[in-house]
A and B are shown apart, each in its own frame.
Chain A
Amino acid sequence: MGLAHVRALTLALLLASVASAHEIGTTQVTARFNRDHTYEIDVVTLRHSKDFAQAAEIRFGGVRVNPEVRVLPNNTIRFRGDIPKNAGPFTWRWKLTYASYALTIGSRQEWLDADATSTPFPLSADLLPPSRMDVVRQYLKLGFTHIVPGGLDHILFVLGIFLLSTKLRPVLTQVTAFTIAHSITLGLTIYGLVSVSPRIVEPMIALSIAYVAIENMTTSHLKPWRVAIVFAFGLLHGMGFAGVLKELGLPRSEFLTALVTFNVGVELGQLAVIGGAFVLVAWWARAKPWYRPRFVVPASAAIAATGIFWTVQRLM
């Protein structure tokens, strides 16, 4: 039997079920399951009630949930809430009608008679809230790819930090300062405690790249102010990461997990840049007399020029 036949038969059976029921009323119910793992059920009804929440029975796998209720214009009552983790099939029951009405879920429509319970509707896996492990995997990857290969500006800044010295300690000190700083502002910005416009943050990030590169051309020693400046720049980069993370969105169910793993992913991305640069160049070239004049200085000049170009570009 072809799909079209099955559809036709299904429709015929649905119509038959209408005929074997009550008069059709004016109530209409539409259920939506969203990508952000929320459900939304709109009930169009001419009936009035002081307690619409009591009239609606929304269940996942038999477990009743407590939706937030809003009365919208056009006689619409909206029930909204988070789809529970590991949610079982969705069922709907509306106790505020004596007539038949249609429940629409996507392309599926079912006729319900008065206060009957709907046929269980299994949710596809992508609609269910992700498990913690899924979130960890996903946001680690998002954080990492935001640096490599996604964030050339952050790569250049980290290279700028790296090119200062061939010794491990100055690099580690700077990376630590940078990491602590961007973690602070990423968290504060995501939680809405700090808010700086990208029109300020983005040019400043570009300027920070130029600054570290220019300083690399003048000295190979880690000055105390440089650590402070890298820390300050880290604060700016953190706000930039927050902007990106806001665009990606954070799962409501695993907010903190996502925030922390994204930050760890960013960190791993930076370490990958430093590790890559060390393996490719510094490991064999750092002792050579030409390393600083022929490599560090021209590379820093190129990075500085790019940083200045971006600064101007982002200001415009």
Chain B
Amino acid sequence: MKRIAAVVIAVAAQTAVAHAHDFWIEPSTFRPAVGQLVSASLRVGQEFEGDPIPRSAQLIDSFTVREGTKEKEVVGFENRDPAGYVRLEQPGLAVIGYRSKANPLQLDAAKFEEFLKNEGLERISVIRAQRHETAKPDRERFYRFAKSVLNTGANGGARFDQPFGYRFEIIPETNPCTSTPLRVRLLFEGKPLAGALVTAMHRDDASARIRIRSDKSGRVTLNLPKNGVWMIKSVQMVPAPAGTDADWESMWASLTFER
């Protein structure tokens, strides 16, 4: 029994140090030709530097690509990186979308409070304080909602402003590959989400970073200072439904594209 106890302690200790990190789709190219095979790697990390996440049926709720009005499965090999492959059939824009299943996560109280501050979720800290739960470790379930825009360079293709219908989603309202400024909207459960922190970061230039809150209509207008590969991300958090083993649900939305 001693050994079991040791393992339990080890597991508890180990999960306590877990941090929360960004999640995004990194295609082999953002500008494929029609008919070209493009791999879509899933990444977890920080500052656009991440680890590849192999395809896992346990993880994926939906992994699709939209071209025009068509939506297809992104195929791939289980337990392999890159997690998926797409081949565009028509010119224009295409959007890859990934939605994960729920993943449980635990954080110790201090780390959780720090995370809430970094991700602009101070209102959760306030709720915890009101409930006198600031010192309580975090038990949460997290979900990933990642999208990536591919661009063959021609007009037409997918309606990039068409939602995938994810629970939390970043919707570009102007063409992310070309428009300046770029306007995006946050939708949470189908409704605009106001006051959420949105971060835009450049893959090769850490200084080119914008942090901005969404307005009443859930929108942000971004003046991206340079061309290159960009990620826009936001984290939403709500109390978990009663009767689950978690206190909070976090939703990580990201959008990657090249301009």
Chain A complexes with chain B: yes
**Which residues of A line the B interface, CB within 8 A?**
1, 6, 9-10, 13-14, 16-17, 19-27, 46-47, 97-99, 110-117, 119
User: How far apart are B114's CB and chain A's nearest CB, in angstroms?
Assistant: 15
A6-B4, A23-B42 are contacts. A13–B11 as well, Cβ < 8 Å? Answer: yes
Closest residue on chain B to residue A9 by CB atoms:
B4
* Cα distance A27–B81 in the bound complex, in angstroms: 11
- Nearest B residue to A16 via CB reads B11
User: Residue A46 contacts which of B3, B11, B81, B104 (CB distance < 8 angstroms)?
Assistant: B81
Q: What is the CB-to-nearest-CB distance from B81 to chain A, in angstroms, rounded to a whole number?
A: 5
B8 at interface, CB cutoff 8 A: yes
Chain B positions 1 through 23: 1 when the CB is less than 8 Å from some CB of chain A, otherwise 0: 10110111011011101110101
| CB-CB nearest in chain B for A45 | B51
Q: Can you list 19 pairs linking A and B with CB atoms under 8 Å apart?
A: A1-B1, A14-B7, A17-B15, A20-B11, A22-B44, A23-B44, A23-B56, A23-B103, A24-B53, A25-B44, A46-B52, A47-B51, A98-B44, A99-B53, A111-B14, A113-B17, A117-B17, A119-B10, A119-B13
Bound form: Cα–Cα A27–B54 in Å: 10
Chain A residues with CB under 8 Å of B36's CB are none
Contacts of B59 in A (CB 8 A): 23
Chain B residues near A27: list those with CB within 8 A: 51
Chain B residues closer than 8 Å to A115, beta-carbon distance: 17, 19
The smallest beta-carbon distance between B28 and chain A, in angstroms, is 14
The docked-state distance in angstroms from the alpha carbon of A119 to that of B11 is: 9
User: Is B50's beta carbon under 8 Å from chain A?
Assistant: yes
Chain A nearest CB from B92 CB (Å) reads: 31
Contact, CB under 8 Å: B3 / A10: yes
Residue of B nearest to A5 (CB): B4
Whether, in the assembled complex, B106 has its beta carbon less than 8 Å from a beta carbon of chain A, the answer is yes
The answer to whether B45 and A98 have CB atoms under 8 Å apart is yes
Please name all residues of chain A whose beta carbon is closer than 8 Å to the beta carbon of B7 when the two chains form the complex: 10, 13-14
Check B14 against A113 for contact (C-beta < 8 Å): yes
In angstroms, how far is the closest chain B Cβ from the Cβ of A228?
67
Q: A19-B103, A97-B51, A98-B45 are in contact. Are A26 and B81 (CB under 8 A)?
A: yes
| Contact (A20, B104) CB under 8 Å given A6-B3, A13-B8, A47-B51 | yes
A98 adjacent to B52 (CB under 8 Å): no
CA gap between A78 and B45 in the complex, in Å: 23
**Given the complex, which residues of B lie within 8 Å of A47, measured CB to CB?**
51
Q: Within the complex, what minimum Cβ distance (angstroms) separates B47 from chain A?
A: 10
Tell me how far the C-beta of A198 lies from the nearest C-beta in chain B, rounded to whole angstroms.
50
Which residues of chain A have C-beta atoms less than 8 A from B104's C-beta? Answer: 19-20
Tell me the minimal C-beta distance from A207 to chain B in angstroms.
62
**A113 to B52, Cβ gap below 8 A?**
no
* B6 (CB) vs chain A CBs: closest residue: A119
